[in-house]
């Protein structure tokens, strides 16, 4: 057999073998590492709709809930118990990266999983009930200065979490010791909204995407969104930024997915190709917009580099607040 033909045959066989390995997952699943109704749920359901609508999955993706530690329980379960499960995506957010930076996910760090895709971003927000006496961020700051123990703030996670950090940054900017603030630790945006609407907390440190259904329903309003400038979405255009109220704080909440550490390169490549196709489509942009998310698209090695840099930056921020040594 002539050598060039042999090489061509070998290459074709390799391509056929690779395409066989890169098969669609048989039982696609998305783990939302919190209770239903919050940002992780929103992230999984976005992928659930988009992947089937785009015919990238031929069967429905189920969404399962694994609350605990704002992502810690799910992270540990995937790494330790399901490391090679190629059909399982797990949702993550910027808050997950902040917790990783502080070692809150136990013995596993940011190198323990395969970071797959970032599919959009929201922004942190300070929300109150519609009948709250606080009409502006300054109103809230004045109340905190007068008696920080009287204002109960609900946040996703404990001290050092993303939601805690948002109000801690406001407090620091206003000359208030964040350690004097009164927090109730909750499990994600769904529980924050429930506690706020039920009158169990006075303020919710959350994100704008979680809040919009309740804002549009007239139950809640947002004192400030932590974006660079007012958001262009017509439903959000009247919400003031913290920056325009004199508090120079910006906090994007990036959302995406990771896979277990022992998922094969071929299966990882299948998912990456699927998300590359998805993120470039107009139909996905429409679905993302419906969920009040803004464009932010990274996959593969570019996402991995972004995650590692963000975790390093968050470690610096955590040290500034005395959360880690």
Q: What DSSP string describes 97-146?
A: HHHHHTTTTTT--TTSSEEEEEEEEEEEEEEEETT-S--SHHHHHHHHHH
* DSSP summary character for residue 36: T
- The number of domains in the chain is 2
* DSSP summary character for residue 271: H
* Residue range 107-127: mean pLDDT, rounded: 97
Six-digit token pair at 316?
Answer: 């610096």
Judgement on whether residues 167 and 106 belong to the same structural domain of the protein: no
How confident is the model at residue 21, as a pLDDT?
47
- Contact by Cβ (8 Å): 51, 57: yes
Tell me the pLDDT tens digit for each residue of 230-263. 998 898 999 999 999 999 999 999 999 999 999 9
How confident is the model at residue 114, as a pLDDT?
98
Query: If residue 196 lies in a helix (H) or strand (E), which one and from where to where?
Result: helix 189-197
Judgement on whether residues 197 and 267 belong to the same structural domain of the protein: no
Q: Are strands 114-129 and 152-156 parallel, antiparallel or unpaired?
A: unpaired
Compute CA 141 distance to the chain's CA centroid, rounded to the nearest angstrom. Answer: 27
Judgement on whether residues 258 and 117 belong to the same structural domain of the protein: yes
Judgement on whether residues 108 and 131 belong to the same structural domain of the protein: no
Judgement on whether residues 246 and 313 belong to the same structural domain of the protein: no
Question: pLDDT category, 174, cuts 50, 70, 90?
Answer: very high
Reduced to 3 states (helix: H, G, I; strand: E, B; else coil), residue 88 is strand
Judgement on whether residues 127 and 116 belong to the same structural domain of the protein: no
Compute CA 123 distance to the chain's CA centroid, rounded to the nearest angstrom. Answer: 10
- Please check whether residue 15 lies inside any domain of the structure: no
* H helices, E strands: number in the chain: 11, 10
Cα separation of the two ends of the chain: 66
Query: Could you give phi then psi for residue 207, rounded to 5 degrees?
Result: -135, 160
- Please check whether residue 114 lies inside any domain of the structure: yes
Range of the domain at 280: 27-121+253-320
- Please check whether residue 2 lies inside any domain of the structure: no
- Contact by Cβ (8 Å): 86, 248: no
Judgement on whether residues 105 and 218 belong to the same structural domain of the protein: no
How much is the pTM?
0.84
Place of tokens 């699943």: 29
Q: Considering the chain, what is the average pLDDT of its residues?
A: 91
Question: pLDDT category, 22, cuts 50, 70, 90?
Answer: low
Question: pLDDT category, 210, cuts 50, 70, 90?
Answer: confident
* Residue range 61-76: mean pLDDT, rounded: 93
Judgement on whether residues 65 and 147 belong to the same structural domain of the protein: no
Q: Is the pLDDT of residue 8 over 70?
A: no
- Contact by Cβ (8 Å): 291, 268: no
Of 208, 233, 252, which residue constitutes the final position of a domain?
252
Q: Is the pLDDT of residue 322 over 80?
A: yes
CATH at residue 160? 3.40.190.10
How confident is the model at residue 292, as a pLDDT?
87
* Cβ neighbours for 161, distance < 8 A, ≥ 6 positions apart: 70, 95, 98, 99, 155, 185
Of 192, 227, 252, which residue constitutes the final position of a domain?
252
Of 252, 286, 305, which residue constitutes the final position of a domain?
252
Judgement on whether residues 160 and 175 belong to the same structural domain of the protein: yes
């Amino acid at each position: 057999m002539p050598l060039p033909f042999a090489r061509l045959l070998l290459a074709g066989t390799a391509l056929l073998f690779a395409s066989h390995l890169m098969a669609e997952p048989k039982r696609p699943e998305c783990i939302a590492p919190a209770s239903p109704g919050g940002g992780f749920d929103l992230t999984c359901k976005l992928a659930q709709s988009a992947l089937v609508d785009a015919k990238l999955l031929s069967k429905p993706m189920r969404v399962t809930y694994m609350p605990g530690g704002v992502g810690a329980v799910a992270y540990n379960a995937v790494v330790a118990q399901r490391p090679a499960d190629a059909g399982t995506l797990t949702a993550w957010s910027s808050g997950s990266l902040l917790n990783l930076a502080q070692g809150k996910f136990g013995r596993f760090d940011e190198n323990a999983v395969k970071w797959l895709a970032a599919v959009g971003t929201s922004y942190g927000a300070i929300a109150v009930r519609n009948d709250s006496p606080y009409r502006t961020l300054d109103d809230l700051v004045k109340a905190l200065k007068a008696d920080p123990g009287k204002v109960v703030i609900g946040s996703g996670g404990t001290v050092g979490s993303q939601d805690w950090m948002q109000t801690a940054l406001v407090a620091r900017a206003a000359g208030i010791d964040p350690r004097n603030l009164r927090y109730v630790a909750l499990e994600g945006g769904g529980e924050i909204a429930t506690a706020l609407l039920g009158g169990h907390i006075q303020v919710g440190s959350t994100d704008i995407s979680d809040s919009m259904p309740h804002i549009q329903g007239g139950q809640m309003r947002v004192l400030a969104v932590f974006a660079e400038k007012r958001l262009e979405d017509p439903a959000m255009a009247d919400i003031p930024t913290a920056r325009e109220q004199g508090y120079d704080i910006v906090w994007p909440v990036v959302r995406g997915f990771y896979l277990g550490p022992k998922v094969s390169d071929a299966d990882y490549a299948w998912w990456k190709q699927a998300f590359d196709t998805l993120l470039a489509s107009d139909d996905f942009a429409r679905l993302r917009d419906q969920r009040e998310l803004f464009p932010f698209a990274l996959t593969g090695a570019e996402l991995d580099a972004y995650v590692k840099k963000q975790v390093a930056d968050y470690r610096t921020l955590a040290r500034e607040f005395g959360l880690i040594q």
